[in-house]
Chains A and B, each alone.
Chain A
Amino acid sequence: MNIAIASGKGGTGKTTLSTNLAMLLAESQKVVLSDLDVEEPNSGLFIEAELLHEENKFKMIPEWTKDKCTLCGICQDVCNFHAVIQLGTKIMVFPQLCHSCYACSELCPTEALPMIPKKMGVLKHFNSGNLSFIESRLDIGEEQAVPLIAQTIQYVNENFSDNIIRIYDAPPGTSCPVIEATKDADFVMLVTEPTPFGLHDLKLAMETMRELKKDFGVVVNRYGIGNDDVLKYCTTEAIPILAKIPNDRRIAELYSSGKLIYNQHPEVRKQLDSIKNCILELNQMSAR
């Protein structure tokens, strides 16, 4: 069972929800929490766990072999990303632009562009009781999150059974990294705040999830600020509101000192319990 926690707008509370929900679930069952916001992972700030395993992650990029090249230009013509360009008698490769699609390498008639591994980041696997926590971090200077997100999901798939609830903390926005982080989800929770900005970006996120044909629900965070346009909009669109997490200075204080909230704040606990029940119900349905 894969649950992705996403949002349009950044800073709405994805990590707060992911970490607290995962820890709450871990009180009664095995759960995997995976931080897919590889450009700036922060779930780990709230999780105290033992490091079990660490591995470097690589993406494949072409390397030009001058001696084999006939300068036919096919490589630059087939590259959709201008990651390979011919300049006079030289082929230049831009690893940051390369999407590892292999087109240049496979279509090169003289095999002058073999694919070689290039390190892009590090995956870490932690454990604490029922909770397994997987975090990937992109190396500084790397521009593409998607390959590392894909490999992180693959790691989770290879190391944990389907029956275990997996919570994926997705990056913000609606671009490629979000698509990658949510495309295999059985259910997506969109976290928003009840402000015009929150609603604007929630609409974009909903549009994206509809395009991906995902089941999704909305969690309103900092409930009490702004207005009730988000609630009205969700009612009109028949989107379930899974929880309303109150706006409370105490929550911000706990968060800013790296502490979890579900065990310190009864109302948050109540809201998270209802999300938990919703997940357990979905899990039972998918197990049938």
Chain B
Amino acid sequence: MKIAFTTKGIYWDSVMDSRFGRTEYILVYDDETKELTNFDNRSISNEAHGAGPKTAQKLYEFNPDILITGNGPGGNAASVLKQAGIKVFIGASEMSVKEAYEKYKNNVLEGL
């Protein structure tokens, strides 16, 4: 299973980014291969409009099963994620990626 995170860095102890569309990085963890890959999304700050759908489309390319994020996607991004069949968990703000993953594992995060 592949799990995506919205983050401000590229390591397990990096801080989560509470934003979805304008997240700085996307980290993707494959729990079968134990591989952690990252995508630098910082160019999104140049976009005045449609950051949500754009990031959602990028996420779709990584084909994750789960997204763990902070505040949650806006309406447009949520409809892309739904279409892409990505299950979203929110509430993972102000914590490290590792903590967010553990909270998800312990069923503490709220599913959308």
Contact = CB atoms under 8 A, between A and B. Distances in A.
A75 to B, nearest CB: 13
B83 to A, nearest CB: 6
* Candidate in B47, B50, B54, B60 with the most chain A CB atoms within 10 angstroms: B50
Interface string A71-96: 00000000011110111101010101
B57 interface: yes
A97 B83 contact: no
B51 interface: yes
A36 to B, nearest CB: 21
A82 B84 contact: no
B37 interface: no
Contacts of A83: 49-50, 53
A29 to B, nearest CB: 42
Nearest to A90: B83
Interface in B46-87: 47, 49-51, 53-54, 57, 60, 75-76, 79-80, 83-84
Contact of A97 (B50, B57, B60): B50
Contacts of B75: 96
Nearest to B52: A82
A82 B47 contact: yes
Contacts of B84: 87-88
A82 B53 contact: yes
A234 to B, nearest CB: 32
A83 B60 CA distance: 16
B80 A92 contact: yes
A94 B76 contact: yes
B83 A82 contact: no
A96 B78 CA distance: 14
Interface residues of A, number: 13
Contacts, number: 40
A214 to B, nearest CB: 23
B50 A92 contact: no
Contacts of A87: 57, 60, 80, 83-84
Nearest to B50: A82
Nearest to B75: A96
Contacts of B83: 87, 90, 92
Contact of B76 (A80, A88, A90, A97): A97
Nearest to A94: B76
A80 B54 CA distance: 11
Contacts of B76: 94, 96-97
A85 B75 CA distance: 15
A92 B53 contact: yes
25 contacts: A80-B49, A81-B50, A82-B47, A82-B49, A83-B49, A83-B50, A83-B53, A85-B53, A85-B80, A86-B57, A87-B57, A87-B83, A87-B84, A88-B84, A92-B53, A92-B79, A92-B80, A94-B50, A94-B53, A94-B76, A96-B75, A96-B76, A97-B49, A97-B50, A97-B76
Given A81-B50, A82-B54, 17 more contacts: A82-B51, A83-B49, A83-B50, A85-B53, A86-B57, A87-B57, A87-B84, A88-B60, A92-B53, A92-B79, A92-B80, A94-B50, A94-B53, A94-B79, A96-B75, A97-B49, A97-B53
Interface of B: 47, 49-51, 53-54, 57, 60, 75-76, 79-80, 83-84
